[in-house]
Amino acid sequence: MRELAAERGVALPEDVRFHPGIGLTGALSRFALTLAVLQELDAIRRVADEICQDAAADGVTTLEIRFAPQLHGHPIPAVIDAALEGAGGRAGLILCALYGDPPGLVEQLVAAAAARPGVVGIDVAGGPSPAHAWDLASYAPAFRRAADHGLGRTVHAGEGRPAGEIAAAVELALAQRIGHGTTLLDDPAVLDLVLERGVTIEACPTSNLHTGAIARAADHPLPRWLALGVRACVCTDNTLFSDVTASQELARARALPGMSAAMVDAAIANGHAARFARR
């Protein structure tokens, strides 16, 4: 990142990492830094390649890279193709719409994904705001088309927000996976829905602590989810800003109160089983 910034005259702070208490809004604002150095196709290729190299060195065998191609300064298809070239078949790509994006943009992402076998899924990332003109219901037609094309569907939902958001993601966007989902246990009906549909929860303990979705590391609900039969896995959310690798995140999950070795094994197996693969 610093090499790319120096080449492009982008000033970076001394420390770009998240920290406990940064909050979701503060965390999301940090992505302006990475976007500033990823406005050229060669940089996108390089970073996609290096993500795959780093993951392999850490022992990761199933890798998905998610990003929002509409934010990278070039036509969406060109940005996706650059990322695919950099990944070189070592990772599937997940294209992120952002809460508040117009439905037409989400349709563009689905169409671009459907035309490229290396793209395996669609996501809604960021966080909703009352000021947004569009919500998950607005994206439901695009996500139904994604399902028709055999694309995976995941949604950032319940990240410290009401559990009903998780239900909306499952029922409206046909989400097979939920990012974060920290409030899942707040509503028994939502828990029942997740169990009934076999939805996988992408647990992100380090990021959840940084954004305030959980108050303390020991409060993360991952062990309770697994004990109740929820198909939960462990996700770094992002390795750069959260300053965590997959192996470190698994180690932190292993240290949670109530977590057993069998639960950790189950979380790893759940992650592999929930990978998005085009049919």
Each residue's pLDDT tens digit, 83-104: 999 999 999 999 999 999 999 9
Closest to 232 in 3D by CA, of 166, 138, 162, 164: 166
- Residue scoring higher pLDDT (226 or 24): 226
3-state secondary structure 130-178: CCCCCCHHHHHHHHHHHHHCCCEEEEEECCCCCCHHHHHHHHHCCCCEE
| Residue 165 is a catalytic residue | no
Label residue 94 exposed, middle or buried (CB < 10 Å: 0-12, 13-18, 19+): buried
Catalytic residue among 14, 50, 85, 159: 159
Confidence of residue 7 (pLDDT cuts 50, 70, 90): very high
DSSP secondary structure string for all residues of 95-125: EEEETT--HHHHHHHHHHHHT-TTEEEEEEE
Confidence of residue 279 (pLDDT cuts 50, 70, 90): low
Confidence of residue 137 (pLDDT cuts 50, 70, 90): very high
- Mean pLDDT estimate for the chain: 95
Helices and strands (H and E) in the chain: how many: 13, 7
Taking the CB of residue 57, how many other CB atoms lie within 10 A of it?
A: 9
Average pLDDT estimate for 7-31 = 84
For domain 38-126+133-151, the CATH class is alpha beta
Domain boundaries, the chain: 38-126+133-151, 158-272
- Please give the angle made by the CA atoms of 116, 120 and 125, to the nearest 5 degrees: 115
